[in-house]
Protein backbone atom coordinates (compact mmCIF):
# COMPACT_ATOMS: atom_id res chain seq x y z
CA UNK A 1 0.00 0.00 0.00
CA UNK A 2 1.45 3.40 -0.95
CA UNK A 3 1.99 5.84 1.90
CA UNK A 4 0.44 8.88 0.25
CA UNK A 5 -3.32 8.89 -0.13
CA UNK A 6 -5.00 9.80 -3.42
CA UNK A 7 -6.43 12.88 -1.71
CA UNK A 8 -2.92 14.03 -0.74
CA UNK A 9 -2.39 14.80 -4.44
CA UNK A 10 -5.37 17.17 -4.65
CA UNK A 11 -4.15 20.75 -5.03
CA UNK A 12 -4.53 23.02 -2.01
CA UNK A 13 -7.40 24.98 -3.55
CA UNK A 14 -9.38 21.74 -4.06
CA UNK A 15 -8.68 20.28 -0.62
CA UNK A 16 -11.66 21.73 1.26
CA UNK A 17 -14.12 18.88 0.68
CA UNK A 18 -16.11 18.01 3.81
CA UNK A 19 -15.54 14.31 3.16
CA UNK A 20 -11.89 14.22 2.18
CA UNK A 21 -10.29 17.66 2.16
CA UNK A 22 -7.14 17.88 4.23
CA UNK A 23 -7.79 21.64 4.57
CA UNK A 24 -11.19 21.12 6.17
CA UNK A 25 -10.63 20.88 9.92
CA UNK A 26 -14.32 20.08 10.51
CA UNK A 27 -14.49 17.38 7.82
CA UNK A 28 -13.83 13.64 7.74
CA UNK A 29 -10.45 13.91 5.96
CA UNK A 30 -10.91 10.47 4.40
CA UNK A 31 -7.76 8.91 2.91
CA UNK A 32 -7.92 6.39 0.07
CA UNK A 33 -5.16 4.11 -1.24
CA UNK A 34 -4.55 1.36 -3.73
CA UNK A 35 -5.14 -2.05 -2.19
CA UNK A 36 -4.24 -3.81 -5.43
CA UNK A 37 -3.49 -1.44 -8.26
CA UNK A 38 -3.37 -4.14 -10.97
CA UNK A 39 -6.81 -5.39 -9.97
CA UNK A 40 -8.20 -1.85 -9.63
CA UNK A 41 -8.96 -2.27 -5.94
CA UNK A 42 -8.79 0.55 -3.41
CA UNK A 43 -9.17 0.89 0.34
CA UNK A 44 -9.95 3.50 2.98
CA UNK A 45 -10.47 3.28 6.72
CA UNK A 46 -12.56 5.43 9.02
CA UNK A 47 -13.55 5.18 12.67
CA UNK A 48 -16.73 7.14 13.40
CA UNK A 49 -16.90 9.47 16.37
CA UNK A 50 -19.68 9.38 18.97
CA UNK A 51 -21.39 12.32 17.23
CA UNK A 52 -21.76 10.22 14.05
CA UNK A 53 -24.47 8.19 15.80
CA UNK A 54 -27.83 7.44 14.19
CA UNK A 55 -29.53 5.21 16.76
CA UNK A 56 -27.33 4.59 19.83
CA UNK A 57 -24.78 1.95 18.90
CA UNK A 58 -25.15 2.43 15.15
CA UNK A 59 -23.58 4.71 12.56
CA UNK A 60 -25.50 7.51 10.83
CA UNK A 61 -26.26 6.64 7.20
CA UNK A 62 -25.45 10.11 5.92
CA UNK A 63 -21.90 9.76 7.18
CA UNK A 64 -21.62 6.41 5.41
CA UNK A 65 -22.88 7.93 2.18
CA UNK A 66 -20.27 10.66 2.34
CA UNK A 67 -17.49 8.13 2.98
CA UNK A 68 -18.58 6.12 -0.06
CA UNK A 69 -18.83 9.33 -2.08
CA UNK A 70 -15.28 10.47 -1.31
CA UNK A 71 -13.72 7.03 -1.56
CA UNK A 72 -15.36 6.81 -4.97
CA UNK A 73 -14.20 10.16 -6.31
CA UNK A 74 -10.69 9.67 -4.94
CA UNK A 75 -10.48 6.18 -6.44
CA UNK A 76 -11.78 7.56 -9.74
CA UNK A 77 -9.00 10.13 -9.95
CA UNK A 78 -6.37 7.46 -9.25
CA UNK A 79 -7.90 5.14 -11.84
CA UNK A 80 -7.93 7.87 -14.47
CA UNK A 81 -4.21 8.53 -13.98
CA UNK A 82 -3.56 4.79 -14.10
CA UNK A 83 -5.53 4.41 -17.32
CA UNK A 84 -3.45 7.13 -18.94
CA UNK A 85 -0.21 5.61 -17.68
CA UNK A 86 0.52 8.76 -15.71
CA UNK A 87 1.92 9.41 -12.26
CA UNK A 88 -0.86 10.44 -9.90
CA UNK A 89 -0.86 14.17 -9.27
CA UNK A 90 1.04 15.03 -12.45
CA UNK A 91 -0.17 17.91 -14.63
CA UNK A 92 -2.60 18.42 -16.18
CA UNK A 93 -4.66 17.47 -13.15
CA UNK A 94 -7.40 14.84 -13.46
CA UNK A 95 -10.16 15.77 -11.00
CA UNK A 96 -13.51 14.05 -10.55
CA UNK A 97 -16.77 15.03 -8.86
CA UNK A 98 -19.83 12.96 -8.04
CA UNK A 99 -22.34 12.57 -10.86
CA UNK A 100 -24.33 9.84 -9.14
CA UNK A 101 -24.14 8.14 -5.75
CA UNK A 102 -25.97 4.92 -4.89
CA UNK A 103 -25.99 3.53 -1.35
CA UNK A 104 -27.58 0.27 -0.13
CA UNK A 105 -27.79 -0.23 3.61
CA UNK A 106 -27.64 -4.01 3.98
CA UNK A 107 -27.15 -4.31 7.73
CA UNK A 108 -26.85 -1.89 10.67
CA UNK A 109 -23.31 -0.49 10.92
CA UNK A 110 -22.00 -0.72 14.49
CA UNK A 111 -20.27 2.12 16.29
CA UNK A 112 -16.95 1.54 18.03
CA UNK A 113 -15.11 -0.30 15.27
CA UNK A 114 -13.00 0.79 12.32
CA UNK A 115 -14.95 0.80 9.06
CA UNK A 116 -13.24 -0.56 5.96
CA UNK A 117 -14.19 0.79 2.53
CA UNK A 118 -13.15 -1.30 -0.45
CA UNK A 119 -13.48 0.06 -3.95
CA UNK A 120 -13.40 -1.75 -7.28
CA UNK A 121 -12.96 0.21 -10.48
CA UNK A 122 -15.45 -1.20 -12.96
CA UNK A 123 -15.34 1.32 -15.81
CA UNK A 124 -12.89 3.99 -16.89
CA UNK A 125 -13.70 6.38 -19.71
CA UNK A 126 -12.09 9.69 -20.54
CA UNK A 127 -14.75 11.72 -18.69
CA UNK A 128 -16.36 9.10 -16.44
CA UNK A 129 -15.23 6.46 -13.95
CA UNK A 130 -17.48 3.99 -12.12
CA UNK A 131 -16.44 2.62 -8.73
CA UNK A 132 -18.29 -0.12 -6.83
CA UNK A 133 -17.77 0.11 -3.06
CA UNK A 134 -18.44 -1.96 0.03
CA UNK A 135 -18.22 -0.84 3.63
CA UNK A 136 -17.45 -3.47 6.26
CA UNK A 137 -17.41 -3.52 10.05
CA UNK A 138 -15.88 -6.49 11.85
CA UNK A 139 -15.63 -8.30 8.49
CA UNK A 140 -19.36 -7.95 7.85
CA UNK A 141 -20.40 -6.03 4.73
CA UNK A 142 -22.96 -3.56 6.06
CA UNK A 143 -23.26 -1.29 3.03
CA UNK A 144 -22.70 -1.51 -0.70
CA UNK A 145 -22.71 1.39 -3.09
CA UNK A 146 -21.46 2.87 -6.29
CA UNK A 147 -20.17 6.19 -7.49
CA UNK A 148 -20.34 7.52 -11.02
CA UNK A 149 -17.54 10.05 -11.00
CA UNK A 150 -17.38 12.61 -13.79
CA UNK A 151 -14.54 14.96 -14.69
CA UNK A 152 -14.84 18.15 -12.70
CA UNK A 153 -16.40 20.89 -14.86
CA UNK A 154 -14.41 24.09 -15.33
CA UNK A 155 -17.21 25.98 -13.57
CA UNK A 156 -16.35 24.20 -10.29
CA UNK A 157 -12.60 24.73 -10.44
C1 LIG B 1 -12.20 17.75 -7.70
C2 LIG B 1 -11.12 17.57 -6.71
C3 LIG B 1 -11.58 16.86 -5.50
C4 LIG B 1 -12.75 17.55 -4.89
C5 LIG B 1 -13.32 16.75 -3.78
C6 LIG B 1 -13.94 15.46 -4.23
C7 LIG B 1 -15.38 15.57 -4.54
C8 LIG B 1 -16.23 15.04 -3.46
C9 LIG B 1 -17.51 14.55 -3.96
C10 LIG B 1 -18.51 15.66 -4.08
O11 LIG B 1 -19.27 15.92 -3.19
S12 LIG B 1 -18.57 16.55 -5.56
C13 LIG B 1 -20.03 17.62 -5.30
C14 LIG B 1 -21.29 16.95 -5.78
N15 LIG B 1 -21.32 16.89 -7.23
C16 LIG B 1 -21.68 17.95 -7.99
O17 LIG B 1 -21.99 19.00 -7.50
C18 LIG B 1 -21.68 17.74 -9.49
C19 LIG B 1 -22.79 18.57 -10.16
N20 LIG B 1 -23.02 18.10 -11.52
C21 LIG B 1 -22.23 18.52 -12.56
O22 LIG B 1 -21.38 19.39 -12.42
C23 LIG B 1 -22.43 17.84 -13.86
O24 LIG B 1 -23.76 17.40 -13.98
C25 LIG B 1 -21.45 16.66 -14.07
C26 LIG B 1 -20.01 17.18 -14.05
C27 LIG B 1 -21.63 15.58 -13.00
C28 LIG B 1 -21.75 16.00 -15.42
O29 LIG B 1 -21.85 16.98 -16.40
P30 LIG B 1 -21.06 16.85 -17.75
O31 LIG B 1 -21.72 17.77 -18.72
O32 LIG B 1 -19.61 17.06 -17.51
O33 LIG B 1 -21.27 15.34 -18.12
P34 LIG B 1 -21.50 14.74 -19.56
O35 LIG B 1 -22.91 14.99 -19.97
O36 LIG B 1 -20.42 15.19 -20.48
O37 LIG B 1 -21.36 13.18 -19.28
C38 LIG B 1 -20.11 12.55 -19.17
C39 LIG B 1 -20.41 11.11 -18.79
O40 LIG B 1 -20.88 11.08 -17.42
C41 LIG B 1 -22.20 10.54 -17.37
N42 LIG B 1 -22.96 11.29 -16.39
C43 LIG B 1 -23.00 12.62 -16.22
N44 LIG B 1 -23.81 12.97 -15.21
C45 LIG B 1 -24.30 11.81 -14.72
C46 LIG B 1 -25.21 11.50 -13.67
N47 LIG B 1 -25.75 12.44 -12.91
N48 LIG B 1 -25.50 10.21 -13.46
C49 LIG B 1 -24.95 9.24 -14.22
N50 LIG B 1 -24.06 9.48 -15.23
C51 LIG B 1 -23.76 10.74 -15.48
C52 LIG B 1 -22.76 10.72 -18.75
O53 LIG B 1 -23.79 9.77 -19.03
C54 LIG B 1 -21.53 10.48 -19.61
O55 LIG B 1 -21.27 9.10 -19.66
P56 LIG B 1 -20.88 8.37 -21.02
O57 LIG B 1 -19.55 8.95 -21.43
O58 LIG B 1 -20.81 6.92 -20.70
O59 LIG B 1 -21.97 8.71 -22.00
Measured in Å, residue 33 CA sits from the centre of ligand 1 at 22
CB 143, CB 68: distance < 8 Å: yes
List, chain by chain if needed, residues with CB within 6 Å of any ligand 1 atom.
10, 14, 17, 19-20, 69-70, 73, 95, 97-100, 125, 127-128, 148, 150, 152-153
Read off φ and ψ for residue 27, nearest 5 degrees.
-95, -175
DSSP assignment letter at 49: -
Measured in Å, residue 74 CA sits from the centre of ligand 1 at 14
Question: Which protein residue's CA is at the shortest distance from atom 42 of ligand 1?
Answer: 99
Q: Does this complex have an ipTM over 0.90? A: yes
Residue 85 CA to residue 68 CA, distance in Å, equals: 25
Q: What is the pLDDT of residues 6-45, one digit of tens each?
A: 999 999 999 999 999 999 999 999 999 999 999 999 999 9
Type and span of the H or E element at 141: strand 140-151
Domains delineated in the chain? 6-156 (3.10.129.10)
Q: What is the pLDDT of residues 89-137, one digit of tens each?
A: 999 989 999 999 999 999 999 999 999 999 999 999 999 999 999 999 9
Q: What does pTM read for this prediction? A: 0.97
At residue 3, the pLDDT reads: 84
51: confidence class by pLDDT, cuts 50, 70, 90: very high
DSSP assignment letter at 128: E
Measured in Å, residue 98 CA sits from the centre of ligand 1 at 5
Average confidence (pLDDT) over 80-86:
97
Question: Which protein residue's CA is at the shortest distance from atom 2 of ligand 1?
Answer: 95
Q: What is the pLDDT of residues 52-80, one digit of tens each?
A: 999 999 999 999 999 999 999 999 999 99
Give the chain's mean pLDDT.
96
Q: Using DSSP, state whether 114 is helix, strand or coil.
A: coil
Q: Using DSSP, state whether 48 is helix, strand or coil.
A: coil
DSSP assignment letter at 127: S
Does pLDDT of 1 surpass 70? no
At residue 157, the pLDDT reads: 80
Nearest 5 degrees, angle CA 22-CA 35-CA 137?
80
Burial of 75 (0-12, 13-18, 19+ CB in 10 A): buried
CB 104, CB 110: distance < 8 Å: no
Question: Which protein residue's CA is at the shortest distance from atom 11 of ligand 1?
Answer: 98
At residue 72, the pLDDT reads: 98
Amino acid sequence: MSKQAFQDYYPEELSHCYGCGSNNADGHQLKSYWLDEKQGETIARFTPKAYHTAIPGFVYGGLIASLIDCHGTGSAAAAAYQAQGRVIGSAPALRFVTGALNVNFLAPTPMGVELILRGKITEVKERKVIVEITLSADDVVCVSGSVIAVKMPATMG
